Amino acid sequence: MGDEFDVVIVGAGLAGIGAAHQLHTAFPGMDYAILEARDAPGGTWDLFRYPGVRSDSDMFTLAYRFRPWSGAQSFAGGEAIRDYIRSTAAEAGIDRRIRYRHRVISASWSSDEARWTVLAEHDGQQVRLTAKFLHLCPGYYHYEQPHDPEFQGTERFTGTLVHPQDWPEDLDHAGKKVVVIGSGARRSRWSRRWPRTPSTSRCCSAPPATSWRCPAGTR
């Protein structure tokens, strides 16, 4: 039969942890599970690790109403948001309900049984769960295949191509020229935090499109 729950939540990011908190606060007797495809909570804020990653929405608005943001920065950095999500889950005991490395592959509804059947892959095995309610909080990024436009000539490029969604921790830019493709918010955040050395130059493929900026510490 598989595991049976009142509610199955898909995703352990900002939305999934928030949904779980609301659920067990309003309905403490309900049994629920959170299915997370990755091996850590945080969603987008655990996935993106490029220098300068931060929210482009103020955290006093984006944060949970039941746990207001108390950080020093309104437009907080990714690490601070990741810690906020994880500590919220830990303090409420939500982290014990998360099933990591469970990638949902299908969900079907039975009107006769009034239940959802959810199939997930876990370490090469298929797992079956049923629930009265299914709450989807997976975010909108494709974690395995980020948006990656095709540029002519990349096959002849002998340097390093880096996507912000797959940022290598050991990236060494010393003595290299760096070209940033794009002029949006992510480019602005990243380029301002890029470690500067006398031997490194930077350029962008388009002029900045940002209409205004404020210091990161502004509340």
pLDDT tens string 75-118: 899 999 999 999 999 999 999 999 999 999 999 999 999 999 99
pLDDT tens string 162-184: 888 888 888 877 777 777 777 65
Are the beta carbons of 117 and 134 closer than 8 angstroms? no
How much of the chain, in percent, has pLDDT values that exceed 90?
52
pLDDT of residue 206: 47
How much of the chain, in percent, has pLDDT values that exceed 70?
82
Beta bridge partners of 203: 179
pLDDT tens string 61-73: 999 999 999 988 8
pLDDT tens string 2-21: 599 999 999 999 999 999 99
Kindly list the structural domains of the chain, giving each domain's residue range(s) and its CATH number in brackets, ordered by start: 3-136 (3.50.50.60), 154-204 (no CATH)
Element (H, E) at 131: strand 125-136
Phi and psi based region of residue 88 (left: phi greater than 0; alpha: psi -120 to 50; beta: remaining)? alpha
In Å, the largest CA–CA distance within the chain is 69
Count of beta carbons in the 10 Å neighbourhood of residue 66: 11
Are the beta carbons of 185 and 210 closer than 8 angstroms? yes
